[in-house]
Amino acid sequence: MKSIKSIVRPNKVDDVKDALAKLNISGMTVTEVRGHGKQKGHTAIYRGKEYNVSLLPKMEIESVVPDTIVDEAIKAIVQAARTGEIGDGRVFVFPVLESYRIRTGEKES
């Protein structure tokens, strides 16, 4: 089992969701986040003062998937979230040690 954490443009969340649904991955947690990588951010002007807003709004999508479809899932996410411009985001993959379903208490493999 692996956890795939994708940080994508906010307007790409639906596309990523659809792409994962095609692989029968239905579980995910989506969080509004802010951050920056290579993308510089933008200049904001409030009351005549310029500010550099370096942390830009992104969406983080976390999904735990079986090892067998990790590669496919990553490929699907990258394809769905890409625009080719700086600021498209990142995909991180982590190992998951154990997973329990709260309703039943059963351990999943």
**Measured distance CA(35)–CA(70) in Å, rounded:** 25
Q: Closer CB to another protein, residue 10 or residue 66?
A: 10
Chosen residue from 27, 45, 104, 109 binding another protein by CB under 8 A: 45
Give least dist CB 41 to another protein, A: 8
Q: Which stretch binds another protein (CB under 8 A): 21-29, 46-54, 70-78, 88-96?
A: 46-54
Q: What is the 3-state secondary structure (H, E, C) of 37-69?
A: CCCCCEEEEECCEEEEECCEEEEEEEEEECHHH
Q: Closer CB to another protein, residue 70 or residue 87?
A: 87
Per the structure block, which two tokens stand in for 23? 């692989």
Binding pattern for the stretch 75-104 against another protein, x by CB under 8 A and - elsewhere:
--------x-x-------------------
Core vs surface per residue 23-59: b (16+ CB within 10 A) or e: eebeebeeeeeeeeeeeeeeeeeeeeeeeeeeebebb
Query: Which residues of this protein are in contact with another protein, per CB under 8 A?
Result: 9-11, 13-14, 34, 42-46, 49-57, 83, 85
